[in-house]
Structure 1
Amino acid sequence: MFKNTISLFSAKVATLLLGLSGCVLPSLRAQEKPLSIEKINSQLYLYTTYNTFEGTKYAANAVYLITKKGVILFDTPWDSTQYQPLLDSIKQKHQLPVIAVYATHWHEDRAGGFAYYNRMGIPTYATKMTNDLLKANHKAQATHLVKINKTYNVGGQSFVLNFFGAGHSLDNVVVWFPDYQILDGGCFIKSSEAKNLGFVGDGDVKAWKPALARLLAKYPQIKMVIPGHDAWKDNQQIKRTEELLTEKQ
């Protein structure tokens, strides 16, 4: 009888734990961190924030570059609650301030933080086309304009912003890091897991594929591509972007 009591008790405990796991695990999944930072190399880091578009949650990828003078952000968090936490995280992780913020196009997941960083006194940068679109859409503009196809050298690091034509948006630029042969494609490049081209209402799908061809002609030996959203660790992003564009023709 004693053994039967132990067995019955064990079965009840197992049932209780199983029931709890059904409650706890979804809760833990729901507590996904709103900001994650991953190391690409000693100078480049990728940070991810999240937001919802048409009822589906997506990850937005962006990068920052560590220089001897400070940290340079390329694009701002998509989640406005992470504007300051990103600065705090970078300061804590690298003991360096953010000294500049560049945007790869005018949408909220790229330039949405300009108003905040402008108030913080951090210089913000964009192309004239991006600034014009920000102004036309009643958004905060960059405090400085950038030149396309110019190599910028800051604190021992270099980068180039290039525009190859319209695509996801009319103003989408990419960032090339020549020392590492890494391309930050922004929303001009789709993730390898992308099911479609996403929102293209502000872009030009017909111009996108020839613009991508010009990019590949300019940078034939890309070692890594960072897409604007979702999976980024494989090497199929450009291939997937080409496939999606071909399907649209």
Structure 2
Amino acid sequence: MKNTIKNVFIIFFSFFILSCGSQKKENFKAKKVYKSNTLIITQISENSFIHTSFKQTNDFGNVPCNGLVVKDHHEAIVLDTPTNDKSSEELIRWIDEKLNAKIKAIIPTHFHDDSLGGLMAFHKHRIPSYSYTKTIELAQENNFVIPENSFNDAVILQVGNKDVIAKFFGEGHTKDNAVGYFPSENILFGGCLLKELEAGKGYLGDANVSAWSATVEKVKKEYPDVKIAVPGHGDYGDGKLLDYTIALFKGQ
């Protein structure tokens, strides 16, 4: 009888510990871990951070622009640069000093300056860059800093013991907009292909609005387990951001 009670207690205690551990992981509370006039860094999960820099525009004012940092085992990969070299230097320094991580790669997801405007800073630090082939073509055409390595469909890079995937699914915000995915935490960096909830359509000067919904539908099908979705501008959320973006451009 005593052994039975003891075994029940051990099972219950083990379940309690596991429950607390999983709850703690699921209920991660986002927090700002760095803030200056030009750069904000927000931790959104155990190993992922949104970097937000700013771009002054005529039509939309001073626009906050998001990128993502993911880390594992003292290594990091950055998706999209801050909007300029100064903010990029700030981010690189923070990753080095506060995360104590070496940046393995920078992945600009499209050719606009809210995605590769600070690329020169990364190249000065000898950090390799990877982009979809069309991004490199458009960067060349517009006399922007050119990413060093291209991929035709997708690339899988290693950060520590984890994978980071960058993949092109089709046109939308631009002809070259790729997305990033961090499978170990089910985090999607949609960049400017993805809209925050209640957002308008934004800048459409290089867009293919008729293809936009279908492209995001492909992303949703490929990554059905998204827990966190990060748009190029505005607040991050979950899979609802994909549904919202699909609906926003449906039938255009």
TM-score (norm 2): 0.79
Query: 1:171, CA displacement in angstroms?
Result: 0.3
| Alignment correspondent of 2:172 | 167
Structure 1 residue matching 2:185: 3-state secondary structure: coil
With over 3 angstroms needed to count, the CA separation of the structure-2 counterparts of 1:149 and 1:80, relative to structure 1, is: closer
Partners of 2:224 and 2:73 in 1: how far apart? 29
- Deviation track 1:136-180 (CA, whole Å, cap 9, x = no partner) reads 111111112235334333321112111111000000001111111
Structure 2 partner of 1:104: 109
CA distance in 1, matches of 2:131, 2:240: 28
Distance 1:109 1:150 in 2: 21
Equivalent position SS for 1:94: coil
Give the letter aligned to residue 218 of structure 1.
E
Matched with 2:186 is: 181
Pairing partner for 2:229 from 218, 225, 231: 225
Partner Cα distance (1:77, 1:208) in 2: 24
Q: 1:119 to 1:150 in 2, by over 3 A?
A: closer
Q: Deviation string for 1:190-212 (max 9, x for gaps)?
A: 11131x21112112111111111
Residue 174 of structure 1 aligns with an amino acid whose one-letter code is V
* Partner deviation per Cα, 1:45-93 (whole Å, 9 max, x = no partner): 1111112222512211111111335221111001443121111111221
Deviations 1:17-51 (A, max 9, x none): xxxxxxxxxxxxxx973211111222111111112
CA RMSD of aligned residues (A): 2.0
Task: Give aligned-pair identity as a percent.
Answer: 28
Is residue 190–residue 240 contact of structure 1 (8 Å, CA) maintained in 2? yes
In 1, Cα distance between the equivalents of 2:36 and 2:45? 24
Counterpart-to-counterpart distance in 2, 1:185 and 1:156? 23
Q: How many residues align?
A: 217
Please report the TM-score for the alignment, with normalisation by the length of structure 1: 0.80
Deviations 1:203-224 (A, max 9, x none): 2111111111111221222111
Alpha-carbon separation, structure 2, partners of 1:79 and 1:144: 20
Gaps of 5+ in 2: 1-34
SS in 2 for 1:193: coil
- After TM superposition, the structure 1 stretch with the greater mean CA deviation from structure 2, 150-159 or 185-194, is 150-159
Distance 2:51 2:130 in 1: 19
Deviates more, 1:71-80 or 1:223-232: 71-80
Q: Say whether residues 1:63 and 2:57 are aligned partners.
A: no
**Larger CA Rg, structure 1 vs 2:** 1
Given that residues 176 and 183 in structure 1 are in contact (C-alpha distance below 8 angstroms), is that contact kept between their aligned partners in structure 2?
yes
How many Å apart are 1:122 and its aligned residue? 1.6
